[in-house]
């Protein structure tokens, strides 16, 4: 991994790149960006010819001539016809997991257990006896539709190594016998209060553990050190910077990861900005943080102001809370509350009192409705009008959801990749009527609601150009299904860009400094090879990131890192 110095490139080094020409002074603290299209995402000045930056902050927008009059010695950054946007804000990520995936076998796209075994053998060619073999990415939604895998082949392939394979969205794991034995999971092990151990007809576990049943085994996996976590976080953030992301909202920060983020901030080693949501399901951590209070960074490098609560499960694993039974295989469903409504209500009350922002993971229509009830009760007795509380996912909702979130000022935090990734089986789960209120982005906007669009990485393809493609086309990267899946809910390019920039900033109380290019804002921006407003929808996924800038410094450039 390269040092922060190589990524936070100095103005002097800019002289050697193709994006910077006609330099007047290599010692200048000012940059004048010109020669292309600058989309500001600010309604007062939606587009500009040039942008003047001083000490990492935007000083002015206007014509090149006007700005040269303000700063004759500014270093000129010639866009050569490319397009500038505010840096993408990925407003729901798990960046530590993204970086940690470098030490896990990639199982994305596997269709059979044999394929999983082949990936594991390629990633772990000569494992020592007893070494944990970790993989991630098998799609629990697709497997749940055709039948979950059985561990028989895993047992035969790895008799001496515990195997722990995390699903794409994190709501299921697939283990071999060695791992189950370490966790004490056998035919007589009861299901935990929140979770399910899938079993064969003879009562033996299949190896698949749903929701919190995962922890029967996961607690035995050796824990990463804070130093290892810091490396994983930086690796993940650098990957995101290369994709054009300048700010992230990290969802569900646990205590050791909190320490890692804070140490990186103290070391000035965060390459992009972080807005943190604490793991609200961990009551010990929450008591500590309620006593401490929010951590507000005036420079926005690391702010810890949010609480993320995992409430229900997932649609793919049939663990999300629905008001009516699942339309397919209702007997296999295990609708789950990962935390009691009483505990969520307690967190909501304490969040109001402590000035924290609450964000709740809710997938099913019943889960979303119960969450809104809790929000309503917590907020109506307090003078807390600008709370900006969020529902994460809001995948399947009741018809009254749209007006309720508008009335309450609740933000819908959604993932375009989930709609496309779930499209092959989601209607089977909920049926033809309920699907009309699933992944319903335009219904939210048409009602006047606030929508942010993000990736929930590291699950589905997460790069912002992919998020944009999914949002506008409602098609996967192979351009399927033809015409888009329930295309009436597709976003326009500008709606999607807004949900990925300025609305993301608003959702973190940071719209004054990030999310749009305006005077006084931090100079966080991305340079694209083309104007996304002027390419065909099917080509959005092919947009190229030429460079990414944070605080007026280039943190990534194509061909240079």
Give per-residue pLDDT as tens, 425-454: 999 999 999 999 999 999 999 999 999 999
- Report d(CA 382, CA 366) in Å as an integer: 25
Residue that is written with structure tokens 């030490």 in the block: 103
On the question of pLDDT at 101 being above 90, the answer is: no
Average pLDDT on 234-252 reads 97
Burial zone of 216 (CB within 10 Å; 0-12 exposed, 13-18 middle, 19+ buried): buried
What is the arithmetic mean of pLDDT over 530-544?
Answer: 97
Query: Does position 400 have pLDDT exceeding 90, yes or no?
Result: yes
Mean pLDDT, residues 334-348 taken together? 96
Token pair in block for residue 212: 């919190």
| Average model confidence (pLDDT) across the chain | 92
Express each pLDDT in 500-521 by its tens digit: 999 999 999 999 999 999 999 9
Residue with tokens 């890692």: 260
Residue 554: how many CA atoms within 13 Å on its side-chain side?
25
Provide the 10 A C-beta neighbour count for residue 187. 11
Residue 235 pLDDT greater than 90, yes or no = yes
Number of H helices, E strands in the chain: 21, 24
Q: What is the 3-state secondary structure (H, E, C) of 394-458?
A: CCECCCCHHHHHHHHCCEEEEEHHHHHHHCCCHHHHHHHHHHHHECCHHHHHHCCCEEEEECCEC
pLDDT in tens, 385-395: 789 999 999 99
Q: Are 416 and 484 in contact (CB under 8 A)?
A: no
Q: Tokens 């500001």 correspond to what residue?
A: 40
How high is the pLDDT of residue 20?
36
Query: Distance (Å, rounded) from C-alpha 473 to C-alpha 17?
Result: 35
Average pLDDT over residues 405-419: 96
The 10s digit of each residue's pLDDT in 114-160 is: 999 999 999 999 999 999 999 999 998 889 888 999 999 999 999 99
Is the Cβ–Cβ distance between 85 and 39 less than 8 Å? yes
| pLDDT given for residue 194 in this prediction | 84
Q: How many CB atoms lie within 10 A of CB 446?
A: 10
Q: Which domains, and CATH codes, for the chain?
A: 1-87+515-561 (2.30.40.10), 103-218 (3.10.310.70)
In angstroms, the CA 71 to CA 355 distance is 42
- Pairing, β 57-62 against β 245-253: unpaired
| Strands 390-393 and 411-415, bridge-based pairing | parallel
- The per-residue pLDDT for 40 is 98
Q: Is the pLDDT of residue 561 over 70?
A: no
């Amino acid at each position: 991994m390269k040092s922060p110095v190589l990524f936070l490139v100095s103005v002097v080094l800019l002289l050697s790149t193709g994006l910077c020409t006609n330099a007047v002074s290599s010692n200048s603290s000012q940059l004048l960006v010109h020669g292309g299209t600058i989309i500001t995402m600010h309604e007062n000045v939606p587009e500009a010819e040039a942008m003047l930056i001083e000490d990492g902050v935007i000083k002015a927008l206007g014509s090149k001539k006007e700005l040269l009059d303000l700063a004759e010695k500014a270093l000129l950054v010639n866009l050569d016809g490319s397009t500038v946007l505010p840096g993408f804000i990925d407003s729901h990520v798990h960046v530590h997991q993204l970086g940690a995936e470098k030490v896990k076998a990639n199982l994305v796209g596997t269709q059979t257990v044999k394929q999983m075994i082949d990936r594991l053998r390629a990633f772990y060619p000569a494992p020592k006896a007893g070494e944990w073999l970790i993989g991630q990415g098998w799609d629990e939604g697709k497997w749940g539709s055709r039948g979950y895998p059985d561990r028989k082949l895993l047992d035969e392939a790895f008799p001496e190594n515990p195997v722990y394979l995390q699903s794409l969205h994190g709501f299921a794991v697939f283990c071999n016998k060695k791992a189950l034995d370490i966790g004490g999971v056998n035919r007589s092990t009861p299901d935990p209060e929140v979770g399910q151990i899938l079993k064969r007809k003879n009562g033996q576990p299949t190896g698949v553990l749903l929701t919190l049943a995962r922890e029967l085994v996961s607690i035995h996996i050796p824990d990463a050190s804070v130093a290892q976590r810091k490396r994983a976080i930086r690796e993940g953030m650098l990957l995101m910077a290369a994709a054009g992301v300048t700010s992230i909202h990290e969802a569900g920060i646990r205590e050791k990861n909190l320490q890692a983020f804070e140490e990186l901030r103290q070391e000035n080693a965060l390459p992009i900005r972080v807005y943190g949501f604490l793991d609200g399901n961990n009551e010990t951590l929450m008591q500590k943080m309620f006593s401490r209070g929010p951590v507000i960074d005036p420079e926005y490098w690391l702010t810890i102001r949010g609480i993320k609560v995992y409430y229900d499960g997932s649609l793919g694993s049939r663990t999300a809370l629905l008001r009516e039974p699942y339309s397919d295989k209702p007997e296999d469903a295990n609708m789950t509350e990962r935390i009691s409504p009483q505990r969520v209500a307690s967190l909501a009350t304490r969040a109001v009192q402590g000035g924290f922002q609450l964000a709740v993971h809710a997938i099913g229509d019943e889960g979303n409705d119960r969450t809104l009830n809790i929000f309503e009760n917590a907020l109506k007795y307090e003078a807390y009008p600008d709370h900006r509380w969020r529902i994460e996912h809001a995948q399947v909702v009741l018809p009254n959801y749209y007006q309720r979130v508008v009335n309450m000022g609740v933000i819908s935090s959604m993932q375009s990749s989930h709609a496309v990734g779930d499209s092959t089986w989601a209607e089977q789960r909920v049926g033809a009527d309920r699907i009309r209120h699933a992944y319903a982005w335009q219904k939210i906007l048409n009602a006047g609601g606030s929508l942010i669009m993000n990736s929930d990485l590291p699950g589905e393809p997460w790069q912002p150009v992919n998020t944009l493609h999914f949002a506008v086309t409602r098609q996967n990267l192979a351009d399927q299904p033809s015409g888009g899946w329930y295309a009436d809910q597709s976003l326009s390019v500008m709606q999607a860009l807004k949900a990925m920039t300025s609305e993301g900033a608003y959702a973190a109380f940071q719209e004054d400094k990030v999310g749009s290019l305006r005077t006084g804002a931090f100079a966080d921006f991305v340079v694209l090879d083309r104007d996304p407003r002027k390419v065909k929808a099917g080509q959005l996924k092919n947009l190229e990131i030429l460079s990414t800038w944070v605080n007026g410094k280039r943190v990534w450039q194509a061909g240079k890192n």
